[in-house]
């Protein structure tokens, strides 16, 4: 089994495009949550989200082609382009077949679906765009990345709800370990801040309604949390075999050393209250990494800001790590960027890789009222310098999907 390292990072997020801007905003504790501008929220219980407001697709792709992509695919292409550039890899006819794309989306082209359904109802079937289906379907982010960048290696779209982005990275790493690819662009993308999606999550009572204070609405592990905040964006990582990376003198952010996925097999939306699936997932990822719980210094949590998820993830961490759980630094990236759904795990893995590389972890903002059920160290006071040997990233999704990935500092 070959070793897999991370050599490129690409981010499109509510607090910055490009991993440098994203990382500096995270360390500063910057919230990307504000009032929704995409549609009229007068009749909605939730009026806030973490939107991306300064995105120009023409910087990353042909403008004509961009018009034939849903925004979730545009975000994916942009993040992939940034990641490939950061890695310093030029695609040529000689290497194109050894570079693959595994980029997931939990929902896909929601904007296109809603807009074209309105066209159908108002103007009739003859007016529905011929690009409707290829703009909407979830695999098209991976497809458009491959087409735009000329990548002919293994290609797939991972769909496991909010675990999609992280699981795409784990699955892509497996391909490199097996020798099926030298380089993979892996991650997730999502753009679902739409009337139907917000209405649906509102009906499920999953979203925060802290409309009078958007910047403090996402408050993972805080006793006053009242639901998650929707976000949008994309995160793509360049994974390489260690041999390939060393041979070309690549900068290495971190090494992917462990990966596991399980299912709660309990409920379509609620996590198992006995946390058996999440515990097993973390344990299997650590076993895959050949690490003991005491070897881990940092956990980038799923940390959604919902009552059950935060409380039960805390319980699962304590079951896996025992007394060492109280020595872990734990942070939730969602406190600043909201929940990016299918893109969340990938963007948060980028934050984890940067924490390892730079020796600093970002805070969990808005953690002001302790919850007795969430009694671990969530780094509430600001960014913290920390030498990290290994870090665990959790991502969980509707349908009971669990994903845990272990990253380690390269060279230790």
Helix (H, G, I), strand (E, B) or coil at 140: helix
Q: Distance between CA 268 and CA 349 in Å, rounded?
A: 25
How far separated are the first and last CA of the chain, in Å rounded? Answer: 19
Q: Distance between CA 165 and CA 333 in Å, rounded?
A: 14
121-170 residue pLDDT tens: 999 999 999 999 999 999 999 999 999 999 999 999 999 999 999 999 99
Number of H helices, E strands in the chain: 13, 15
Paired tokens of 206: 């999953």
Mean pLDDT of the chain: 98
Please give the CATH superfamily to which domain 4-247 belongs. Answer: Thiolase/Chalcone synthase (3.40.47.10)
Helix (H) or strand (E) holding 350: helix 344-358
Residue 229 clears pLDDT 90, i.e. is over it: yes
Mode of pairing for the β-strands spanning 360-361 and 384-385: antiparallel
The answer to whether 396 touches 266, Cβ cutoff 8 Å, is no
Residue 412 clears pLDDT 80, i.e. is over it: no
Paired tokens of 297: 């210094």
DSSP sequence for 59-115: GTS-HHHHTTS-HHHHHHHHHHHHHHHHHT----TTTGGGEEEEEE-SS--HHHHHH
Q: Distance between CA 128 and CA 137 in Å, rounded?
A: 15
102: phi then psi, degrees, rounded to nearest 5: -125, 95
Mode of pairing for the β-strands spanning 183-190 and 4-13: unpaired
pLDDT band at 411 (very low <50, low <70, confident <90, very high): confident
Q: Is 19 a catalytic residue?
A: no
Which residues partner with 403 through β-bridges?
261, 395
Please give the CATH superfamily to which domain 259-408 belongs. Answer: Thiolase/Chalcone synthase (3.40.47.10)
Which of 244, 302, 357, 367 is flagged as catalytic? 302
Spatial CA neighbour of 141 closest among 119, 117, 165 = 165
Q: Is 367 a catalytic residue?
A: no
Q: Which ranges constitute the DSSP H helices of 137-275?
A: 140-149, 164-178, 195-203, 242-247
The residue-averaged pLDDT of 354-380 equals 98
Q: Distance between CA 377 and CA 364 in Å, rounded?
A: 10
Q: Distance between CA 325 and CA 96 in Å, rounded?
A: 44
- pLDDT number for residue 144: 98
Distance of CA 178 to the CA centre of its chain: 24
Paired tokens of 93: 């006819």
370-403 residue pLDDT tens: 999 999 999 999 999 999 999 999 999 999 999 9
Contacts of 301 (CB under 8 A, 6+ apart): 220, 221, 313, 317, 330, 331, 332, 378, 394
Which of 244, 339, 367, 401 is flagged as catalytic? 339
- pLDDT number for residue 17: 98
Which of 162, 191, 281, 403 is flagged as catalytic? 162
Paired tokens of 311: 């409380």
Paired tokens of 234: 């994309």
263-311 residue pLDDT tens: 999 999 999 999 999 999 999 999 999 999 999 999 999 999 999 999 9
Distance of CA 352 to the CA centre of its chain: 11
The residue-averaged pLDDT of 6-31 equals 98
Spatial CA neighbour of 235 closest among 52, 400, 110, 113 = 52
Helix (H, G, I), strand (E, B) or coil at 275: coil
The answer to whether 395 touches 302, Cβ cutoff 8 Å, is yes
Q: Which residue is it, tokens 């991650």? A: 187
- pLDDT number for residue 205: 96
Q: Which percentage of the chain shows pLDDT scores above 90?
A: 99
Helix (H) or strand (E) holding 403: strand 401-408
Sorted by where each begins, the domain ranges of the chain are 4-247, 259-408
Q: Distance between CA 380 and CA 387 in Å, rounded?
A: 18
Domains 4-247 and 259-408 share a fold: yes
Q: Distance between CA 48 and CA 229 in Å, rounded?
A: 7
Q: Distance between CA 188 and CA 350 in Å, rounded?
A: 11
Q: How many CB atoms lie within 10 A of CB 126?
A: 7
Q: Is 35 a catalytic residue?
A: no
């Amino acid at each position: 089994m070959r070793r897999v390292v991370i050599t490129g990072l690409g981010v499109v997020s509510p607090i910055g495009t490009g991993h440098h801007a994203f990382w500096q905003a995270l360390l500063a504790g910057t919230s990307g949550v504000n009032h929704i501008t995409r549609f009229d929220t007068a009749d909605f219980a939730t009026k806030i989200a973490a939107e991306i407001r300064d995105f120009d697709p023409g910087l990353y792709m042909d403008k004509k082609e961009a018009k034939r992509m849903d925004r979730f695919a545009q975000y994916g292409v942009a993040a992939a382009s940034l990641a490939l550039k950061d890695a310093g890899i030029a695609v040529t006819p000689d290497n194109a077949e050894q570079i693959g794309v595994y980029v997931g989306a939990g929902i896909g082209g929601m904007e296109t679906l809603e807009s074209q359904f309105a066209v159908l109802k108002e103007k009739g079937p003859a007016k529905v765009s011929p690009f409707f289906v290829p703009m909407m379907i979830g695999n098209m982010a991976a497809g458009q990345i491959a087409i735009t960048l000329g990548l002919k290696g293994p290609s797939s779209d991972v769909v496991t709800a909010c675990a999609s982005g992280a699981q795409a990275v784990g699955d892509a790493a497996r391909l490199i370990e097996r020798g099926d690819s030298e380089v993979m662009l892996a991650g997730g993308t999502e753009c679902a801040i739409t009337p139907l999606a917000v209405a649906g999550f509102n009906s499920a009572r999953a979203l925060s309604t802290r409309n009078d204070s958007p910047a403090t609405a996402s408050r993972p592990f805080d006793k006053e949390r009242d639901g998650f905040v929707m976000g949008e964006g994309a995160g793509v990582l360049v994974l390489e075999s260690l041999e390939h990376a060393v041979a070309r003198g690549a900068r290495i952010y971190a090494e992917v050393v462990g990966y596991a996925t399980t299912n709660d097999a309990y409920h379509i939306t609620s996590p198992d209250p006995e946390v058996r699936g999440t515990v097993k997932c973390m344990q299997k990822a650590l076993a895959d990494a050949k690490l003991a719980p005491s070897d881990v210094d940092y956990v980038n949590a799923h940390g959604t800001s919902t009552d059950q998820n935060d409380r039960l993830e805390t319980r699962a961490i304590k079951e896996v790590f025992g007394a060492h759980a109280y020595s872990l630094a734990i942070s939730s990236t969602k406190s600043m960027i909201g929940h990016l759904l299918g893109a969340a795990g990938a963007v948060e893995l980028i934050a984890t890789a940067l924490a390892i590389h730079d020796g600093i972890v970002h805070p969990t903002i808005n953690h002001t009222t302790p919850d007795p059920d969430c009694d671990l160290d969530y780094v509430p006071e600001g960014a913290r310098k920390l030498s990290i040997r290994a870090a665990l990233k959790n991502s969980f999704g509707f349908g009971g999907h669990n994903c845990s990935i272990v990253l380690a500092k390269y060279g230790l």
